[in-house]
């Protein structure tokens, strides 16, 4: 059986390799700090369940300290030469996109088909988070096929992965950190307090108003937090479940799926989503990239507004029919 632990081990070993390669990289400008950052992240994936709440909390504070003190740097590991990459691109053409396209294809196949497959009477996938298990399997399969097909240097995937993660830096783990923060908010009762505020100041006595509050609240809270995964548990506990689902009978799957999409509308508009809106603009050296409201965010604003309206209408017309 392929369980979620396998995915954690796969990710942990990958970050451990990044850390090890960084230690060995004598040309890295901030070798020790960067290696410590990816090494601690590897520890969180490999041993987080054994560290307890206090140990994991100290680990997160250490990660924040390394990032806050600007001890992370950019690596430039040698893999293949520009001439070799140009020759490979000319030889394979657009087929080079195949490994990347295989990841979503295999992930969807895993969720729709492999999740229901049994081997010798035991299910192939564990019951916990089959979507993430399918995604991890898809990455492993695409990587293996890419290695066999393209035959790069053996360490090229790890070196290029390290280069990319160094370029993104601390923002690469921002979604994970904010999702954990959302869980902390739920445990602390923030969702209940927000629900009380809605009940006190807004007359959420119709389906339309409840849907507007949930979709709009998801976008607004995501704008503040910078990540829909942080906003989702809070707003769902405050409005989504008690009002849209329980009081008005909305379909939980439809409500939660469209609610998350509404949160992503907030992601498109906020500089708090640094890994989406700030870091890529800086890496690509785009004009008008200065925070807080750079050119990327301004271009995305009309799309975000239109999608929020569409998501609200979809929830109102679909969630109560199925």
pLDDT tens-digit profile of 147-165? Answer: 999 888 889 999 999 998 9
38-42, 103-107, 124-128, 270-274: lowest mean pLDDT where?
124-128
CA–CA separation, 236 and 68 (whole Å): 32
Other Cβ atoms within 10 Å of 173 Cβ, number: 21
Tens-place pLDDT, residues 247-289:
999 999 999 999 999 999 999 999 888 778 877 776 677 777 6
Q: Tell me, what's the pLDDT at 172?
A: 83
Averaged pLDDT, 21-50: 94
Tens-place pLDDT, residues 196-254:
777 777 777 789 999 999 999 999 999 988 888 888 988 998 899 999 999 999 999 99
Does the pLDDT of residue 97 top 70, yes or no? yes
pTM assigned to the model: 0.78
Q: Tokens representing 83?
A: 């001439």
Q: Tell me, what's the pLDDT at 195?
A: 76
CA–CA separation, 27 and 31 (whole Å): 8
Over the chain, what is the mean pLDDT? 88
Q: Tell me, what's the pLDDT at 158?
A: 94
Half-sphere exposure of 108 (CA within 13 A, CB side): 4
Phi-psi label, residue 76: left if phi above 0, alpha if psi -120 to 50, beta otherwise: beta
Spans of all domains in the chain: 1-75+158-165, 80-152, 189-318
Q: How confident is the model at residue 173 (pLDDT cuts 50, 70, 90)?
A: confident
Q: How confident is the model at residue 292 (pLDDT cuts 50, 70, 90)?
A: low
Q: Tell me, what's the pLDDT at 291?
A: 58
Residues of the chain with pLDDT > 70: what percent? Answer: 97
CA–CA separation, 172 and 75 (whole Å): 15
Please spell the DSSP secondary structure of 89-146, one letter per residue: HHHHGGGGGHHHHHHHHHHHHHHHTGGG-EETTEESB-SS-HHHHHHHHHHHHHHHHH
Q: Tell me, what's the pLDDT at 192?
A: 78
Q: Tokens representing 74?
A: 């950019």
Other Cβ atoms within 10 Å of 29 Cβ, number: 12
CA–CA separation, 266 and 8 (whole Å): 29
Q: Tell me, what's the pLDDT at 289?
A: 60
Give kind and range of the element (H or E) at residue 118: strand 118-119
């Amino acid at each position: 059986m392929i369980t979620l632990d396998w995915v954690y081990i796969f990710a942990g070993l990958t970050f451990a390799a990044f850390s090890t390669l960084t230690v060995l990289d004598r040309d890295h400008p901030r070798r020790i700090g960067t290696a410590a950052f990816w090494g601690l992240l590897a520890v969180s994936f490999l041993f987080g369940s054994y560290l307890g709440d206090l140990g994991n909390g100290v680990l997160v504070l250490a990660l924040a300290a390394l990032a806050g003190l600007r001890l992370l740097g950019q690596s430039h590991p040698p893999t293949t030469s520009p001439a070799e990459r140009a020759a490979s691109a000319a030889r394979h053409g657009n087929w080079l996109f195949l490994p990347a396209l295989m990841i979503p294809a295999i992930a969807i196949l895993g969720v729709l088909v492999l999740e229901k497959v049994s081997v010798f009477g035991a299910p192939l996938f564990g019951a916990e988070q089959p979507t993430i298990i399918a995604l991890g399997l898809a990455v492993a399969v695409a990587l293996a096929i890419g290695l066999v097909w393209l035959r790069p240097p053996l360490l090229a995937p790890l070196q290029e992965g390290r280069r990319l993660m160094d370029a993104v830096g601390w923002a690469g783990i921002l979604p994970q950190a904010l999702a954990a923060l959302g869980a902390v908010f739920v445990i602390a009762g923030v969702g209940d307090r927000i629900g009380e505020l809605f009940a006190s100041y807004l007359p959420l006595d119709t389906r339309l108003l409840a849907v507007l509050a949930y979709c709009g609240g998801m976008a607004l809270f995501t704008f503040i937090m910078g990540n829909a995964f942080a906003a989702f548990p809070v707003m769902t506990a405050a409005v989504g479940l008690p009002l849209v689902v329980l009081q008005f009978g909305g379909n939980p799957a439809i409500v939660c799926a469209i609610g998350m999409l509404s949160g992503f509308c907030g992601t498109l508009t906020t500089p708090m989503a640094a890994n989406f809106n700030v870091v890529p603009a800086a890496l690509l050296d785009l004009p008008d990239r200065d925070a807080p409201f750079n050119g990327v965010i301004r271009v995305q604003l009309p799309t975000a507004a239109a999608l929020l309206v569409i998501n609200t209408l979809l929830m109102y017309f679909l969630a109560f029919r199925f």
